[in-house]
């Protein structure tokens, strides 16, 4: 049964189907997908807060270790929806339940940082179990996709078993098992890449989903700028660092989205895997940048920024630039000529600032980071106009 043409009302139950063979590349993100993304704001904010609290080497390690399962949870549901979403009542209820589990996962982040990880594991197991349930439902209705569904269902189930097994151990053995489970989950799409041709993803819907999630993470920086300034009693240095932080965030947005037009993935399984996997460090780098900006605003009146803040702010921006270049290589549009070299120079400058910028006052340091990013955007615009003139 299909949607009634006059009323827009559809049946409560619609069996999953392989939408990537029906919709072509014209599919857009649904309202439910956008709503689902919003709950991850809580998780991103918690991760950024923990990095602000502990931006030592250990803190960065803990941040990376907790960021990975949060991202994998989002990616798992996003790729399922890309292929099989029919937006019926069952799918909606499962997604709403997953949102509650994500919220529970997010509020457990501080507990993990302080040694209590049982709640985090249970929330993550619920998320993965819901995803396996969706795949098993699709197995009944989409016979042409059963080779992929079977692999994903048992491989995710194995990961769930490892996560549950970890509860029988204390740290550090528990965290070793987490690492094994996460490495296994990361490998699942790669091991199944031979099935991507017969059971594809949407070439334009997937980049759109990742772009929307990137905006959510980048939005954390805007929140930081606003709240950081409001809590600084309008000190001139804090306000100036906040303005510079906003300028840097705008430049970061421009690097990712400034090309305009629809982004389409290249069809090869390798391109799909590169695009999706490189967004893990890309989004982690953006979150670290947000945490660094918070710290820079808080310490704007100090003589200088500590090493953790500098690396979160400047090196976070540098890692982001490197990842964007890699991601754009996997799209049909590719990277504009000359842009890669300019980004490589900017990455070197930003890493250098993180390494030796301890003598710079926070306002100057933030100004140098923002200027590097703004100059990169200016060069991109100039290169694009030159390309148009040559093409004409």
Instruction: List Cβ<8 Å contacts ≥24 apart for 63-69.
Output: 63/284, 63/287, 63/288, 64/284, 65/175, 65/178, 65/179, 66/109, 66/112, 66/113, 66/120, 67/280, 67/283, 67/284, 67/287, 68/182, 68/186, 68/280, 69/105, 69/124, 69/178, 69/182
DSSP one-letter string for 134-178: HHHHHHHH-GGGHHHHHHHHHHHHHHHHHHHHHTTS-TTHHHHHH
Express each pLDDT in 336-372 by its tens digit.
Answer: 677 889 999 999 999 999 999 989 999 999 999 999 9
Within 13 Å and on the Cβ side, how many CA atoms surround 107? 6
Q: What is the pLDDT of residue 24?
A: 60
Q: What is the pLDDT of residue 293?
A: 92
* Residue 331 bridge partners (DSSP): 265
Q: What is the pLDDT of residue 230?
A: 63
Q: What is the pLDDT of residue 215?
A: 92
Alpha helices in the chain (DSSP H): 31-38, 40-53, 57-84, 89-107, 109-113, 118-141, 146-166, 173-191, 205-230, 236-257, 269-298, 307-310, 316-329, 339-356, 362-391
Locate 27 and state its tokens.
Answer: 């599919």
Residues of the chain under the 50 pLDDT cut: 1-3
Q: What is the pLDDT of residue 8?
A: 61
- On whether the CB atoms of residues 376 and 253 are closer than 8 A, the answer is no
CA pair distance 64, 43, nearest whole angstrom: 13
Q: What is the pLDDT of residue 228?
A: 60
Q: Of 233, 323, 340, which Cα lies nearest the Cα of 277?
A: 323
Residue 75, class by beta-carbon neighbours within 10 Å (0-12 exposed, 13-18 middle, 19+ buried)?
buried
Q: What is the pLDDT of residue 233?
A: 59
Q: What is the pLDDT of residue 1?
A: 44
Angle, CA of 71, 73 and 77, to the nearest 5°? 120
Within 13 Å and on the Cβ side, how many CA atoms surround 245? 34
């Amino acid at each position: 049964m299909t949607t009634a043409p006059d009323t827009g009302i559809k049946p409560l139950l619609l069996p999953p189907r392989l939408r990537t063979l029906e919709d072509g590349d014209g599919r857009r993100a649904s309202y439910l997908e956008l709503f689902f993304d919003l709950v991850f704001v809580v998780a991103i904010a918690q991760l950024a807060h923990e990095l602000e609290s502990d931006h030592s080497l250990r803190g960065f390690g803990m941040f990376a270790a907790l960021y990975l399962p949060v991202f994998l949870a989002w990616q798992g549901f996003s790729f399922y929806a890309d292929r099989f979403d029919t937006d019926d009542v069952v799918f909606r209820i499962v997604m709403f339940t997953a949102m509650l589990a994500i919220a529970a996962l997010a509020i457990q982040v501080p507990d993990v940082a302080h040694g209590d990880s049982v709640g985090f594991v249970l929330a993550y197991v619920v998320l993965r179990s819901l995803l396996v349930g969706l795949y098993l439902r699709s197995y009944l209705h989409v016979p042409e996709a059963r080779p992929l569904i079977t692999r994903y269902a048992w491989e995710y189930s194995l990961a769930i078993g490892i996560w549950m097994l970890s509860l029988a151990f204390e740290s550090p053995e528990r965290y070793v098992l987490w690492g094994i489970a996460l490495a296994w989950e990361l490998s699942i799409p790669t091991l199944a890449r031979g099935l991507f041709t017969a059971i594809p993803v949407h070439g334009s819907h997937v980049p759109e989903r990742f772009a929307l999630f990137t905006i959510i993470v980048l939005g954390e920086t805007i929140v930081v700028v606003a709240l950081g300034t409001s809590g600084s009693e309008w000190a001139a240095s804090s306000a100036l660092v906040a303005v510079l932080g906003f300028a840097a965030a705008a430049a970061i947005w421009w690097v990712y989205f400034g090309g305009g037009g629809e982004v389409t993935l290249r069809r090869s399984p390798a391109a799909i895997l590169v695009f999706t996997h490189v967004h893990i460090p890309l989004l982690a780098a953006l979150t670290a940048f947000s945490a660094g900006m918070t710290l820079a605003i808080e310490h704007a009146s100090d003589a200088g920024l500590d090493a953790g803040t500098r690396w979160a702010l400047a090196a976070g921006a540098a890692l982001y630039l490197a990842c964007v270049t890699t991601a754009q290589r996997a799209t049909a549009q590719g990277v504009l000529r000359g842009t890669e070299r300019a980004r490589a120079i900017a990455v070197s400058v930003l890493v250098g600032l993180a390494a030796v910028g301890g003598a710079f006052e926070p306002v100057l340091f933030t100004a140098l980071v923002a200027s590097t990013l703004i100059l990169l955007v200016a060069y991109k615009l100039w290169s694009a106009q030159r390309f148009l003139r040559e093409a004409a």
